[in-house]
Chains A and B, each alone.
Chain A
Amino acid sequence: MWSYEKRLQFPVHITSTCPKTASLIISQFGGPDGELSASMRYLSQRYTMPCKETGGLLTDIGTEELAHLEMICAIIYQLTKNMNVEQAKACGFDAYYIDHTAGLWPTAASGVPFNSCEFQSKGDAIADLTEDLAAEQKARATYDNLIRMIDDPDVRKPLKFLRAREIVHFQRFGEALEKIKDSLDEKNFYYFNPEFDKQFVKR
């Protein structure tokens, strides 16, 4: 189970209203490489991991992604809480405003709503951990794109923190994948599913 802590993992303090910036950052809420997708990916994959340490790592990283989701939502909230209709119109936030006003709703910057097809839970440890490594790099690349495009230092600070976390998670997933491989027959690492074809897993 989870329990809530009444603070953000890293502070978000934004004073300038900017619906345009919010409409870009929202991708890290409900976009293909966003934090919702990341947390649901890891928290779904963990159940069938053949090694309990890897299931534990997925729980801990998935939990941290929920804290990142909260930071992203705090950024969007603070960027839009004082916007008026003229600003929403001028900044291309008008279509979102019609459907959600200033409410938080998971969608990609391109307008595609969040859906679970943005991640996989394959029930195969090698496939899933390899996806997780790619997911961290894709999220890092998205933060790179946002940081290149956004000038407000109040927005850049938390984005840079989040970008750095993607790199650490990539490192840890790499170690987890090595650990899974240690339990397999080195002659055919990639020949079978370590979660299902248990006869090939070393005792």
Chain B
Amino acid sequence: MSDRNVLLKEINEVSFFLDDLRLYLDTHPLDINALNLYQEKHEKRLELLKQYSQDFEPLTCHCINLDSNGSSAADTCYPGQKHWSWSDGPIPWDTAANNSSLLQGGV
């Protein structure tokens, strides 16, 4: 199983790459390099989201994995049972969901 914080950091980074590139492409719709990059990062993001939903819980309602019943009691109220996993895991606005010790750069 992957490390939750490391995988989430990768998802945050590739997602932000796409957030920024999306706005660029909105005003530069014919930039071939940017289009290729978008494709590449988009595929990477889907792969990571799928992995996160298998190892932990779904981050979007498009990658809900109903067979991810291996979660520990720390992540779900229903360990070992087939259940609706959308509310598993930490609340996104809580410190537990946001490990910033992996962040680089000055403050």
Contact pick for B16, options A9, A12, A13, A156, CB 8 Å: A9
Q: Please tell me if the beta carbons of A175 and B27 are within 8 angstroms of each other in the complex.
A: yes
Asked whether B20 is an interface residue with its Cβ less than 8 Å from the other chain, the reply is: yes
Asked whether A111 is an interface residue with its Cβ less than 8 Å from the other chain, the reply is: no
A15 to B94, CA, bound (A): 11
Q: Please tell me if the beta carbons of B23 and A11 are within 8 angstroms of each other in the complex.
A: no
Minimal beta-carbon separation of A102 from chain B (angstroms): 13
Q: Which of B33-41, B59-67, B73-81 contacts A (4 or more CB under 8 A)?
A: B59-67
Q: Please tell me if the beta carbons of A7 and B27 are within 8 angstroms of each other in the complex.
A: no
A56 to B98, CA, bound (A): 30
Q: Which of A1-38 contact B (CB under 8 A)?
A: 3-15
Q: Which of A95-124 contact B (CB under 8 A)?
A: none
Residues of B within 8 A of A73 (CB): 93
A174 to B61, CA, bound (A): 34
Q: Which of B9-33 contact A (CB under 8 A)?
A: 11-12, 15-16, 19-20, 22-24, 26-29
Residues of B within 8 A of A4 (CB): 60-61
> What 3 A-B pairs are tightest by C-beta distance, nearest first?
A11-B98, A74-B93, A13-B100
Contact pick for A7, options B8, B61, B62, CB 8 Å: B8
Asked whether B107 is an interface residue with its Cβ less than 8 Å from the other chain, the reply is: yes
- Interface magnitude class on chain B: 20 to 34
Contact pick for A11, options B28, B89, B99, CB 8 Å: B99
Contact (A157, B27) CB under 8 Å given A3-B60, A6-B89, A14-B95: no
Contact pick for B99, options A9, A13, A78, CB 8 Å: A13
- Chain B residue nearest to A14 in the complex (CB): B95
Residues of A within 8 A of B15 (CB): 5, 9
Q: Please tell me if the beta carbons of B27 and A172 are within 8 angstroms of each other in the complex.
A: yes
- Chain A residue nearest to B98 in the complex (CB): A11
**Could you list which residues of chain B lie within 8 angstroms of chain A, going by C-beta atoms?**
8, 11-12, 15-16, 19-20, 22-24, 26-29, 57-62, 89, 92-95, 97-101, 103, 105, 107
Minimal beta-carbon separation of B18 from chain A (angstroms): 11
Minimal beta-carbon separation of A125 from chain B (angstroms): 15
Residues of A within 8 A of B98 (CB): 8, 11-13, 74
10 pairs across A/B with beta carbons < 8 Å? A6-B92, A7-B12, A8-B98, A9-B16, A10-B16, A11-B99, A11-B103, A64-B19, A157-B100, A157-B105
A10 to B107, CA, bound (A): 14
Residues of A within 8 A of B89 (CB): 6
